[in-house]
Structure 1
Amino acid sequence: MKFAVMGGTGRIGSQVVKKLKAAGHEVVPHSLSTGVDIITGQGLEEAVAGVDVVVNLTNSPTFDDASPAFFQTSMDNLLAACRKGGVGHVVILSIVGIEQVPDLDYYRAKVLQENILKTGSIPYSIVRATQFMEFMDSVLAMTTDGDTVRLPPTPIQPIAAQDVSDAVAEVAAGTPLNGILNVAGPDVFPLDELGRMTLNARPDGRTVVTDDTAGMFAAVRGDVLTPKGDARIAPTHYTDWLS
């Protein structure tokens, strides 16, 4: 099969490209660095012409109220190019539980991205993942004040980027789901506890304080970011990943 991976040089995209190539597929990664601009449309039609599957792993450069415009424009451009190029399957990566966190601009933007794909005419698959283990340092940094990190006790079920890439590559090589696959790590932690675990493993002098109002995850109510039902549970535990 022939694949085009948008955002194919990023954290997840580069691994998806590697996995699909290892499985014997013809795969081309695309990004701004390769001359493909999903917002202006530059190089987009050429990138997807004649491919079987397009995997879109591009992301908004901001997480604020500008993010919906990014996903609206990028998806409109991509789907138009895919229709013209005869693409038979479009795959995107999204987030578990996003429709239940309407107070976050970025999560609303990802819901918009999903809806544009669902209402299009091309068979599709959506892989929804929980929060990446690799993002924990950024989460800590966002609410650090001196030697104190403030985090809410939001339930989180972190997943390793490698496991996310496995799921995306598998779905992309399969029959279109015309639906959603949820993937998550094997363990659930309160976010504040996860922060303490991280700093205990890599001590840097900071201390985590529980604060229900701190950071973006304060907008999350209950356990909506943990999957329910038939989610696929990935093998990597956070404690193993830390070590």
Structure 2
Amino acid sequence: MKGCFLVFEGPEGAGKSLQIGRLAERLSASGVPHLVTREPGGTAAAEAIRSVLLDRPELRLDGIAELLLFSASRRVHVEEVIRPALERGEVVLCDRFELSTRVYQGWARGVAAQTIERVTRAATGGLLPDLYLVLDVPVKVGLGRQGQDQQDPGQLAFFGPAPDRIELEKRSFRERVREGYREFAAAEERIVVVDGSGTPDEVEGRVLGLLEERFPHRLRGANFPR
């Protein structure tokens, strides 16, 4: 692939979307061709699946059902959006990818790793990002950023936009998600944990420093602070 595939991951409230937006603005200002996309989503079909997965909290879906739906979304996303952008030489900034499946459906929900690997490989054709940036924050911080009442972790009250089906999970689920990300990062070089605590400027500085260290040539022309 000619381009550079960067995926931002992390638990709810970690600040992924904010940092993707900041990086995209910096790439735009520098004239670096790039694409911003998300999972599940990115195409009409994938967005329709996203609605089923996230916008219908009354639906009961176990880990296997989630795996298959996320993977169907990922298949069309990879083939219609991500691969073409990489072939054009663009920097692809994606909000979540297959690591989310390994963490949420595998580590947190208990779906067997072998099952996830087989289904995911069929969906992606073996495509992996150049780097996973996992923004890591304590669960309490993530809850606070989402405006949730933390007095009773088992019964969360939301004061911002209506939560999606995953955001309605109990605090214990969120703790498993955070643990899963850290475990995978400890075992794979392409997964790097970035401290997501602090101000947006502080987090952005950590992200940019990591990217400049890892990709001094592939992101040439990007306006990174020295």
Q: Which TM-score tier does this pair reach, normalised by the shorter chain?
A: 0.3 to 0.5
Structure with higher RCO (Cα < 8 A, 6+ apart): 2
Report the structure number with the largest CA radius of gyration.
1
Q: TM-score, normalised by structure 1?
A: 0.38
User: Which of the pair is proportionally richer in helix?
Assistant: 2
Which structure shows the higher strand fraction? 1
Q: TM-score, normalised by structure 2?
A: 0.40
